[in-house]
Structure 1
């Protein structure tokens, strides 16, 4: 009951009317949004549509499959904040995990929120799983030139510096939008990442396109862009 109360406070009805009704419909909208900037989030690999399938050009970006070549051959839409991270804070998750939450309107809103979805090489998406973000000792490159490390034992994924701010602003958006909890340690790390990796041109354009479809923007992206412009900076790709 309390979660639903927060959702009503935090989500304007106008946004609810336009937001994709399901994860599947959100993925279809995102394919169009990314059609002019078809680049995977973690690895920077270009991708193209092969019918309904999105396929990355692994050779061009120097990606090497760690273990699952089949999954590496496709693009998947990954939740930056994992479904587990927002789902387990809902009562439905305690009653049966993600399957039980499929019927929960709050969960469906979060799951389909396009601000929290990015294109990722399937293998990286699978390896990252529901792990939190953090720093991994060393620079072992298990995926060729793709700058992402996953510590399976510690359950931590370290993304490239170029997307850390994007991740931070997404987490803060999800926290505020849906009344979610972040730990103090997590918040401090993400605040640092947001400072060291400011908003760039594509992040701003992506936000604009999602706002046009979904009905709301990410205020952390918009505030970051205003700060940069007021400081006399330029938005670079």
Structure 2
């Protein structure tokens, strides 16, 4: 009986949605030949650090300059140097539709199978500079063009007061198609205003060759 339970459990664990596994697969099996950040087009590279692989940006001011180069303590802002996997549709957006989120937010959803699947969905994850990922938070995208000041030459802007993020034109279609995918698959409602904006973005920024390649790789995995 114990052997049967073990054999039953192993495949379940291997197939269970995992955010950490998705991040590793994206790094090694999806973006391995297109190591460029989503918002800033900043190249990055994988470096070995005491046996652990880290994805770090190649520092170049023509792509990006940190908004805050140092923490309040005076130490270097390491999030401005590393790659993180950003949820294009924030976890707050897709999570708040679930009972577990209403009961206690992201922490309460850790054991929820549906949330884990959504959180780990590689179609909704893109490589972003850590500082950008942190600043964007769970803010919605805005229709305005970004002002290139906040992050140097990076065409990305966060309106902290208005809780909006503004992005460059050549990724707007990517964002729209990700939003439509998440909305369709997980029944996440989009507001009329948001849907209308995404429909416009989808038309103005058609799917690229890289987007097709990425989608096929993710689908295969």
The alignment's TM-score, normalised by the length of structure 1, stands at 0.80
Q: In structure 1, the residue corresponding to 2:126 is in which secondary structure? A: strand
Residues 166-185 of structure 1 mapped to structure 2, 5 A cutoff: 166-185=174-193
Q: C-alpha root-mean-square deviation of aligned residues, in Å?
A: 1.8
**Distance in structure 1 (CA, Å) of the matches to 2:61 and 2:150:** 17
**Distance in structure 1 (CA, Å) of the matches to 2:148 and 2:217:** 36
Cα pair distance change 1:198/1:91, threshold 3 Å? same
Higher relative contact order (CA 8 A, sep 6+): 1
Would you say 1:29 and 2:48 are equivalent positions? no
**Residues paired across the two proteins, number:** 198
1:56 is aligned to 57
After superposition, the C-alpha distances for 1:190-236 in whole angstroms (9 at most, x for unaligned) are: 000010000001001000110110xxxxxxxxxxxxxxxxxxxxxxx
Would you say 1:73 and 2:74 are equivalent positions? no
After superposition, the C-alpha distances for 1:77-96 in whole angstroms (9 at most, x for unaligned) are: 00000000000111100111
1:105 is aligned to 113
Computing the radius of gyration from Cα coordinates, the structure with the larger value is: 2
**Distance in structure 2 (CA, Å) of the matches to 1:64 and 1:20:** 38
**Distance in structure 2 (CA, Å) of the matches to 1:166 and 1:56:** 22
**Distance in structure 2 (CA, Å) of the matches to 1:73 and 1:84:** 25
Tell me by how many angstroms 1:47 deviates.
Answer: 0.5
2:100 is aligned to 92
Tell me by how many angstroms 1:58 deviates.
Answer: 2.5
Is the Cα–Cα contact under 8 Å of residues 41 and 63 in structure 2 kept in the other structure? no
1:45 is aligned to 42
The alignment's TM-score, normalised by the length of structure 2, stands at 0.85
Q: Given the alignment, which residue of 203, 208, 211 partners 2:211?
A: 203
**Distance in structure 1 (CA, Å) of the matches to 2:15 and 2:141:** 27
Is the Cα–Cα contact under 8 Å of residues 36 and 42 in structure 2 kept in the other structure? yes
Q: In structure 2, the residue corresponding to 1:58 is in which secondary structure? A: coil
Cα pair distance change 1:192/1:20, threshold 3 Å? farther
1:151 is aligned to 159
Gaps of 5+ in 1: 1-15, 214-237
